[in-house]
């Protein structure tokens, strides 16, 4: 970050200062003639200039948090969108999500018609799982200039398992708005995709058919129709829509993929291969394309053409990890487990290492070779000692899946005796002891970790939360959680623990801001239950019920919410309340 923002201001200030200096002998010291002058309300005064200088120098030194805070103070003082933008830029490098959100929101307030802060806020909301807030930002953009990326948003929401009904309801409201959203095509397409994913394909198709009457030359329309038809196994309709889209956008490979997928499901393997080979010919030096097409073949149950695409990749240097994983999967599906192991063991430490060994071990277990699976993992620990803890955890998980919890615990105890200071294994055993109701054993393991690693925030928080939630040692719990909070002040889990221990201490007012911040950063049913209970105790009953209604809509599994409703039945949302995250 270069010191450009204040260069002109500095030059002007210095020039003015030089011109104002008296010449000759030292002047007589007089009372300050500006003492009774009115404050400066425009331009840079001494405090404003100091704030900007400190921010600029902090940015040059890499202290982006201090730089962002300085620019943000200056932006608020002078109501400057440019300074708010600069604060946001610095905050993006500060690794402080809360600061980045605050800067972006201030930028948005100062420049309500600017596209960049709205897009940034939409992305930040998506990162923290707040789908509704992200959609609102995108709808504001769409209403203004039609560029809300609503279709991409809908696809991401579907892929990541977002709660769809609230998003569908909001898009319907947007399209029904009397003021009119401008060009509604993208919103219609996004809504149709969400409806189809929500088992409302008939309504989605009717919506797209109506759009085809007004926008027949829109490629995205035929892309959506092909996807929905394929989802509903209307293979002829899917092929026709894909071919129509390919006519409109012959260079759009997505239509070729959809067409080939429909052909594969119809059993027309030759036509599908011809189309997919066309893509390979277009992009001969694109290994990622070969991998994607191989996965498509595998998803449709065609191993041979997938293997044909993958084999050339393992002769490259370096060979893609995914190629080994997929070839191992093909061999395992064909019953050749030992051949599968050869592929899986080619994956080096790094991305894909753990997954490859897990797939290998599972393949052996599924072939009723549990002892071979354990031997395989033991050998892998010897070959890769730096991955020993992860491989032990994998073996323990496999034993648990086979209902061999005693063998899993015996393995864990044996490994800890051999490696008493292995933090990962100690923490794993602590969590197992917690699940078994052995709080004393859990505490011993966590305190062992904390003694060796006083700054282990995860262990501090785990022990502090357990003491707060399962015992009455609240003051001790508070001290542990406060230590964790000083180490990781933005951690949602630690913020939740801090709020919860204050609640246990009877200080709900102090607990509330921590729980609010935790839930804003991470939408989690446990945090929602804690926040709702504190709101209820503070007599904020409507707000608490609204949060419970949101949680019921958002979370399919919500044991702590259900437990809270058993304890406080009056928290249940009224039947006339709208449930939307």
Determine if the pTM surpasses 0.75: no
Residue 15 has pLDDT above 50, yes or no: no
Lowest mean pLDDT among 23-32, 161-170, 248-257, 539-548: 23-32
- For the stretch 457-488, pLDDT in tens is 999 999 999 999 999 999 999 999 999 999 99
Residue 40 has pLDDT above 70, yes or no: no
User: What per-residue confidence (pLDDT) applies to 453?
Assistant: 96
What band does 7 get if pLDDT is binned at 50, 70 and 90? Answer: very low
User: What per-residue confidence (pLDDT) applies to 183?
Assistant: 65
CB 514 within 8 A of CB 498: yes
CATH architecture assignment, domain 420-493+505-512: Alpha Horseshoe (1.25)
Residue with tokens 């490629």: 219
CB 327 within 8 A of CB 313: no
Residue 322 has pLDDT above 80, yes or no: yes
What band does 112 get if pLDDT is binned at 50, 70 and 90? Answer: confident
User: What per-residue confidence (pLDDT) applies to 281?
Assistant: 87
Domain boundaries, the chain: 320-418, 420-493+505-512, 523-581
Q: Would you say the CATH fold of 420-493+505-512 matches that of 320-418?
A: yes
Q: How many other C-beta atoms can be found within 10 angstroms of the C-beta atom of residue 576?
A: 5
**Domain 320-418 belongs in CATH node 1.10.405:** no
What is the DSSP-derived secondary structure letter of residue 233? Answer: T
User: What per-residue confidence (pLDDT) applies to 525?
Assistant: 93
Picking from 193, 187, 131, 122, the residue whose alpha carbon sits closest to that of residue 163 is: 131
Compute the distance between CA of residue 418 and CA of residue 441 in angstroms, rounded to an integer. 18
How far CA 420 is from CA of 416, 423, 436, in Å, comes to: 5, 8, 21
What band does 33 get if pLDDT is binned at 50, 70 and 90? Answer: very low
Compute the distance between CA of residue 383 and CA of residue 524 in angstroms, rounded to an integer. 39
CB 255 within 8 A of CB 245: yes
- For the stretch 194-249, pLDDT in tens is 999 999 999 999 999 999 999 999 999 999 999 999 999 999 999 999 999 999 99
User: What per-residue confidence (pLDDT) applies to 581?
Assistant: 37
What band does 10 get if pLDDT is binned at 50, 70 and 90? Answer: very low
Compute the distance between CA of residue 119 and CA of residue 109 in angstroms, rounded to an integer. 14
Compute the distance between CA of residue 386 and CA of residue 241 in angstroms, rounded to an integer. 52
Query: How many C-alpha atoms does 493 have within 13 Å on its Cβ side?
Result: 13
Compute the distance between CA of residue 188 and CA of residue 518 in angstroms, rounded to an integer. 34
User: What per-residue confidence (pLDDT) applies to 24?
Assistant: 39
Q: SS3 breakdown of the chain: % helix, strand, coil, rounded to 5?
A: 75, 0, 25
Residue 548 has pLDDT above 90, yes or no: yes
Average pLDDT over residues 111-128: 85
- For the stretch 273-295, pLDDT in tens is 998 988 888 888 888 889 989 99
User: What per-residue confidence (pLDDT) applies to 273?
Assistant: 92
User: What per-residue confidence (pLDDT) applies to 9?
Assistant: 33
Lowest mean pLDDT among 79-93, 174-188, 297-311: 174-188
Residues above pLDDT 90, as percent of the chain:
61
Residues above pLDDT 70, as percent of the chain:
90
CB 116 within 8 A of CB 84: no
- For the stretch 57-76, pLDDT in tens is 877 888 888 888 888 888 88
What band does 43 get if pLDDT is binned at 50, 70 and 90? Answer: low
Average pLDDT over residues 125-144: 86
Compute the distance between CA of residue 111 and CA of residue 115 in angstroms, rounded to an integer. 9
What band does 92 get if pLDDT is binned at 50, 70 and 90? Answer: confident
CA angle, residues 23, 29, 33, in degrees to nearest 5: 90
CB 460 within 8 A of CB 450: yes
- For the stretch 398-449, pLDDT in tens is 999 999 999 999 999 999 999 999 999 999 999 999 999 999 999 999 999 9
What's the length of the chain? Answer: 581
Average pLDDT over residues 532-552: 93
Report which listed range, 26-40, 138-152, 154-168, is most confident. Answer: 154-168
């Amino acid at each position: 970050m270069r010191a450009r923002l204040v260069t002109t201001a500095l030059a002007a200030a210095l020039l003015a200062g030089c011109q104002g200096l008296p010449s000759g002998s030292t002047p007589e010291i007089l009372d300050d003639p500006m003492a009774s002058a009115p404050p400066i309300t425009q331009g840079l005064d001494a405090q404003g200039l100091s704030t900007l200088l400190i921010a600029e120098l902090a940015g040059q030194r890499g202290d982006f948090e201090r730089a962002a805070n300085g620019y943000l103070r200056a932006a608020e003082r002078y109501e400057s969108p440019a300074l708010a933008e600069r604060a946001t830029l610095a905050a993006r490098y500060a690794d402080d999500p809360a600061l980045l959100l605050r800067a972006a929101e201030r930028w948005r307030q100062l420049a309500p018609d600017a596209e960049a802060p709205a897009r940034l806020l939409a992305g930040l909301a998506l990162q923290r799982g707040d789908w509704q807030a992200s959609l609102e930002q995108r709808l504001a953009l769409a209403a203004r200039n039609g560029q809300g990326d609503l279709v991409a948003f809908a696809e991401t929401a579907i892929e990541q398992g977002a709660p769809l009904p609230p998003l569908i309801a909001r898009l319907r409201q947007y399209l029904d708005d009397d003021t009119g959203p401008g060009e509604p095509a993208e919103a219609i397409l996004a809504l149709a995709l969400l409806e189809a994913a929500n088992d409302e394909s008939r309504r989605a198709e009717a919506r797209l058919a109506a759009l085809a009457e007004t926008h027949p030359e829109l490629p995205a329309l035929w892309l959506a129709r092909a996807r929905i038809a394929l989802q509903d196994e209307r293979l002829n309709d899917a092929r026709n829509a894909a071919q129509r889209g390919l006519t409109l956008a012959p260079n759009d490979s997505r239509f070729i993929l959809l067409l080939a997928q429909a052909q594969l499901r119809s059993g027309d393997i030759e036509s599908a291969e011809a189309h997919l080979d066309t893509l390979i010919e277009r992009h001969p030096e694109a290994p990622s394309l070969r991998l994607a097409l191989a996965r498509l073949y595998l998803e449709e149950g065609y191993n041979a053409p997938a293997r044909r695409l993958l084999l050339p990749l393992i002769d490259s240097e370096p060979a893609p990890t995914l190629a080994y994983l997929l070839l191992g999967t093909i061999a395992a599906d064909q019953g050749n487990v030992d051949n599968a192991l050869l592929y899986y063991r080619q994956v080096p430490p790094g991305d894909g290492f753990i997954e490859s060994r897990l797939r290998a071990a599972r393949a052996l277990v599924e072939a009723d070779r549990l002892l071979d699976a354990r031997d395989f993992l033991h050998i892998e620990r010897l070959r890769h000692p730096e991955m020993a803890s992860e491989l032990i955890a994998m073996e323990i998980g496999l034993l648990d899946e086979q209902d061999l919890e005693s063998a899993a615990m015996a393995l864990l105890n044996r490994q800890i005796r051999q490696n008493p200071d292995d933090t990962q294994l100690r923490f794993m055993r602590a969590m197992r002891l917690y699940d078994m109701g052995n709080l004393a054993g859990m505490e011993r393991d966590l305190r062992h970790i904390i003694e060796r690693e006083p700054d282990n925030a995860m262990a501090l928080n785990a022990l502090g939360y357990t003491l707060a939630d399962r015992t009455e040692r609240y003051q001790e719990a508070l001290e542990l959680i406060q230590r964790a909070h000083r180490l990781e002040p933005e951690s949602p889990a630690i913020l939740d623990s801090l709020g919860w221990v204050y609640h246990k201490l009877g200080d709900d007012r102090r607990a509330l801001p921590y729980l609010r911040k935790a839930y804003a950063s991470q939408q989690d049913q446990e945090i929602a239950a804690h926040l709702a209970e504190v709101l209820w105790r503070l007599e904020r009953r409507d707000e608490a019920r609204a949060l419970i209604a949101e949680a019921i809509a958002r979370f399919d599994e919500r044991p702590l919410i259900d437990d809270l409703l058993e304890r406080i039945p009056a928290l249940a949302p009224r039947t006339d309340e709208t449930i939307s995250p």
